[in-house]
Structure 1
Amino acid sequence: MLTAMTTTYRCPADGTRAPVETAGWCCPGCGGPWDLDFDAGSVQLDALPRRVNSLWRYAEALPLDAPSVSLGEGRTPLVALTPSVTAKLDFLMPTLSFKDRGAVMLVELARRLGPERVRGVIADSSGNAGTAVAAYCARAGLPCTVYVPEATSPKKTEQIRAHGARLERVAGDREATALAAHAAAGEPHTFYASHVHNPYFLHGTKTYVYELWEEYGGRLPGTIVVPVGNGTLLLGAALAVAELYGNGLITERPALVAVQAEAVSPLATAFHAGADELLPARGAAPAPTLAEGIAIPNPPRARQILRAVRASGGTFLTVTEDQLRAAQRDLAARGLFVESTGVACWAAVRDWTDGSAVVPLCGAGAKTGLSA
């Protein structure tokens, strides 16, 4: 059973609305992802020290409260890397990636919908989101199936299986994996824990910025740098900034700087071309990249991502494979072993001097090993 905070899904493309309890996983009109009609309350900074030491301390800003599936996610530390750049260690999560922030919201939602509506959960992922959903489903006692591309890191697939989920390897790339999950999502009593289509995930990832706001004493750094594939962390960050500003809790909005791998950078290409949406694909398929977690050729929320970065006064940066390798080794030499996707932001801003910036270190190096 959902709480009094229950609200409705809304399609950002055509305005369609549907009850959370009975809606399908995507907009029935256009097939696109949902947003959530939800007005976040004002979080009072002086009340936080007395609250639970997890992301659930920001209760007024969350569409669900009093979770039963929490593993203590959130409240990851900040560590200075240079005088200008600080890292937030989001790989220090229960499943070793930032995806726990959103996965706990999805699984808590699935649990509250009850067995009359949900008897199993499916997810699709390049690894980390699937691992997070599998872990929280294990916590909730919900059967889980995770679809992954055939080239997914063996260490990630082992972690998914360890949580008791059924693993479905899909021949082809990340898009083929999503299509396989979409086909299964229509089965009766199935909850599609889509970190792309379901906005509850974004309301989980936005806590990344609420934590920065708290750690910075009621303000935010001048620049927030995030890796972008499907854009779930960036859109969560934009959501949090809008809520904090709208509730009078900050007076200045940070610039959002998005980072993509040069090998798969459709959003960066569109942004720098001045386009409002992705440009038509040309030539061969994208090249492989070490940053597998952000290798998304056609993100469904592309228009929202481009709009959010522009509205913030931010930009897109891209990094090469050599930069990713060098950044991973550099962080390891500093005592931080981070997976190759998770180092993308550090690779992009190692020489940053334009005011204060925060980068997320999104996944543990134990998930992929050291890049060759």
Structure 2
Amino acid sequence: MTPLPDCFCPTDGTRVPAGSLAWCCPVCRGPLDLDFAPTPAPLKSLAGRVNSLWRYAECLPLAAPTVSLGEGRTPLVPLRDGISAKLDFLMPTLSFKDRGAVVLAELALRLKPRQVLADSSGNAGTAIAAYCARAALPCTVYVPEGTSPKKLEQIEAHGARLRVVEGDREATARATREAADEEGVFYASHVFNPYFLHGTKTYVHELWEDLGGRLPDVIVVPVGNGTLLLGAALAVAELHGAGLIDRRPALYAVQSAAVAPLAHAWAAGADDLVGVTPMAPTLAEGIAIPRPPRARQILRAVRESGGTFLTVTEDQIRHAQLDLASRGLYVESTGVACWAAVREGVLGERTAVVPLCGAGVKTGPARE
């Protein structure tokens, strides 16, 4: 078994040794990054490998997985006008969060905590619960009140303890972080733990493989806490650094207009969040994050890619969900945000891929 890499704080450089249960920088309490710079394998060497995200072994910080459910390798299907959709709602727990959750569960299995904690508006908690069940790890998931009953049912079905927190997503995160400071606890945070990002980056490695060793002009991703976008940026950097792509695609970040702190900062030309973004009701509940901890990293990644931010209204989300359903794709309301943002032609003649991140059965149809 290969040794684990150290973590470090991207803000102040503080290092956290491999094997630690520390979930944040001990100095500034910010998220951590991983001291890990892999070189991806060339396209021809992937033939015959395991048909899951673990086929990209050279790019993952953990080797020889034991808790896999066959996650990854989701279909890529055309929509229209050079735009394709990657069907990540066909993952084992019906959302893209499985990509990061399996890596966190594998890490937890090796660190042997007495308890695994997670906080979520639904999909991440479901994924963590499922993979902890697979690994026989005790798990508790904190969720905000008002979380979809279908997601709560799925979390409990996997045997996780459920803690419903009064208040919004931010209140839930605070409650979980307090509990995460207890001894022997592994905080399976899809925001603070960098291993999650190294799981989500396999989304782009799959695109590269499926497109025959290239990437589209634009990669469109929904952004709340930014885990898929930052994973995508990691993968693009790895592929470009290895000379496996000759240009970097633009990253287009999509937020709900109702809760769009990053889009507002982008419009202001800022490097970090500006002002206070109030929480507002939105159909895109999974990306309704008023203060994402990795805001600076997200803004920098979009800027360096030559991308931009787009916002979508509630009506656009409803119409996009119906449009996808008419094409045979029933996707939850958060998961249709990217299609809502680009389906009216804002990309021109550029090629693009949008992720369909969660299944419609998790929340049902978007309603007034």
Provide the TM-score with structure 1 as the length reference.
0.97
The equivalent of 1:301 in structure 2 is 294
The equivalent of 1:266 in structure 2 is 261
Identity of aligned residues (%): 72
**Is 1:39 matched up with 2:37?**
yes
- The runs of 4+ residues in structure 1 deviating greater than 4 Å are none
How do 1:44-63 and structure 2 match up within 5 A?
44-63=42-61
**Is 1:324 matched up with 2:317?**
yes
Report the Cα offset of residue 41 of structure 1: 2.1
How many residue pairs align between the two structures? 365
SS in structure 1 of the partner of residue 228 of structure 2: helix
Q: Which runs of 5+ in 1 are unaligned?
A: none
How do 1:325-364 and structure 2 match up within 5 A?
325-352=318-345, 353-364=348-359
The equivalent of 1:78 in structure 2 is 76
The equivalent of 1:235 in structure 2 is 230
Residues of 2 paired with 1:311 and 1:342: CA distance? 25
Q: Aligned partner of 2:10: which letter?
A: P
Report the Cα offset of residue 113 of structure 1: 1.1
SS in structure 2 of the partner of residue 43 of structure 1: coil
Residues of 1 paired with 2:166 and 2:174: CA distance? 11
Q: Aligned partner of 1:157: which letter?
A: L
SS in structure 2 of the partner of residue 156 of structure 1: helix
Q: Aligned partner of 1:325: which letter?
A: R
Q: How much is the aligned-residue C-alpha RMSD, in angstroms?
A: 0.8
The equivalent of 2:98 in structure 1 is 100
Q: Which runs of 5+ in 2 are unaligned?
A: none
Residues of 2 paired with 1:139 and 1:314: CA distance? 38
Question: Deviations along 1:227-282, whole A, 9 cap, x unmatched?
Answer: 00000000000000001111111110000000000000000000011000000116
SS in structure 2 of the partner of residue 50 of structure 1: coil
The equivalent of 2:7 in structure 1 is 9
The equivalent of 2:203 in structure 1 is 208
Question: Deviations along 1:154-180, whole A, 9 cap, x unmatched?
Answer: 000000000000000001110000001
Q: Aligned partner of 1:211: which letter?
A: E
**Is 1:183 matched up with 2:178?**
yes
**Is 1:128 matched up with 2:123?**
yes
Question: Deviations along 1:110-155, whole A, 9 cap, x unmatched?
Answer: 00113xxx02100000000000000000000001000000010000
How do 1:133-282 and structure 2 match up within 5 A?
133-281=128-276
Residues of 1 paired with 2:273 and 2:5: CA distance? 31
Mean alpha-carbon deviation: is it higher for 47-56 or for 226-235? Answer: 47-56
SS in structure 1 of the partner of residue 192 of structure 2: coil
Q: Aligned partner of 1:337: which letter?
A: Y
Residues of 2 paired with 1:267 and 1:28: CA distance? 26
**Is 1:25 matched up with 2:20?**
no
Residues of 2 paired with 1:93 and 1:102: CA distance? 12
- 8 Å CA contact 2:122–2:148 kept in 1: the answer is yes
Provide the TM-score with structure 2 as the length reference.
0.98
Residues of 2 paired with 1:361 and 1:33: CA distance? 26
Report the Cα offset of residue 23 of structure 1: 4.6
Structure 1's 247 and 5: CA in aligned 2 closer, same or farther, altered over 3 A?
farther
